[in-house]
Amino acid sequence: MLRLRTFRSTVLATVSATALFVTVERGALAADVVAPGQDRWWAAVEGQYLFFDGDSALYGLFENDPIGISLEPKEGWGVGGEVGFQPAGSPWSFLARLRYGESNKEDGESSFYMESDEPPFIAGGQASVDHRERHYMADLEIGRDVGLGTLGDGSNIRLFAGLRYAQFKGKGAVSSNFSSSGYYSGYETGDLDYKRTFSGIGPRIGFGAMMHLADQFALDVAAAGALLFGKQKHKLSGSVTSSGTAFEPDISRSKSVVVPNLEASAALSWLVTENAKFSLGYRVDSYFGLYDTAAPFDERDKGDRIIHGPFVKVSIGDGG
């Protein structure tokens, strides 16, 4: 009887010790488990007030056309958006961006008057012209975070490479009349449409950096360069009536070109929450040799376009 009680006590003690060991071991393992990393997503929208600098477009049949006039686009506006993704635990990130902008219409007028005694004649004419531009840009980027904390606590530097596609269109209309009397006599009216375009795609590299200035404020800076391989086009069409004879000119030319592109921006950002940011900054985006700005009967000429202005940007998500 004593042996049976001793056996039962031994079994119960062994079972209790085993249960206690398993419970403690499970608790230790549970404490060691680390939650898996989270993928990071972000999105942003922006608006920009645009100024257009660079070369003006010539509206006239040739460089010394007496009623020819050169115009640059007026200031305008732009909008854009982007979405980004960074896999959990990875220093690599992926971003897609789209921007659109257009200028307001610029108007101009020109006129001339001349007299001659030998041979005797009088001639004069006038023209009214308008010009405007618009553009699209699309970027795809693969970036990597480097230099975390190099510029201070919470700072970050991101290097990226990718592609940029850009499409530019400048268009305008000329309404003109010309008359002469005397040795040379005639009358001419015309309504002509000019269209200058470029579309191209090419590699783009750059960097973006964020430097914390205070608890809820940061300075965002970025710069990038691209080489765009594409087609530059110039087209003239419309209708002309000269001394009672009507005809419709249709003159066009195109050329494959490489357009260098440089872009830089700086913005002061307010970190509203951990997942929301409001930025106010300035951006300059330059394209060299973008347009064929010459008159249709002249040799082609390369014109630059520099687009710049202040912007506001709202970002949400864990990034951007």
Give domain limits for the chain: 1-32, 39-317
Q: How far apart are CA 224 and CA 147, in angstroms?
A: 18
Lowest-pLDDT choice from 132-141, 244-253, 286-295: 244-253
Backbone angles phi, psi at 15, to 5 degrees: -65, -45
- 3-class SS of residue 19: helix
pLDDT of residue 153: 64
In degrees to the nearest 10, what's the CA dihedral of 197, 106, 191, 134?
Answer: 20
Q: Is 34 exposed, middle or buried (0-12, 13-18, 19+ CB in 10 A)?
A: exposed
Least confident of 43-52, 59-68, 196-205, 296-305: 59-68
Which residue in the block uniquely carries the two structure tokens 């030998």?
118
pLDDT per residue over 27-68, tens digit each? Answer: 444 444 444 578 999 999 999 999 999 999 999 888 888 888
Q: What digits encode the pLDDT tens for the residues 229-271? A: 999 999 999 999 888 888 898 999 999 999 999 999 999 999 9
State the chain's mean pLDDT as an integer.
87
CATH of domain 39-317: 2.40.160.20
Rounded Cα–Cα distance for residues 260 and 235 (Å): 23
Q: What is the DSSP letter of 118?
A: T
Q: Select from 194, 196, 199 the least CA-distant residue to 231.
A: 199
The whole-angstrom separation of Cα 216 and Cα 276 is: 11
Q: Would you call 1 exposed, middle or buried from its count of C-beta atoms within 10 A (0-12, 13-18, 19+)? A: exposed
Inter-residue contact 110 to 126 (CB < 8 Å): yes
Question: What does the longest C-alpha to C-alpha distance in the chain come to?
Answer: 150
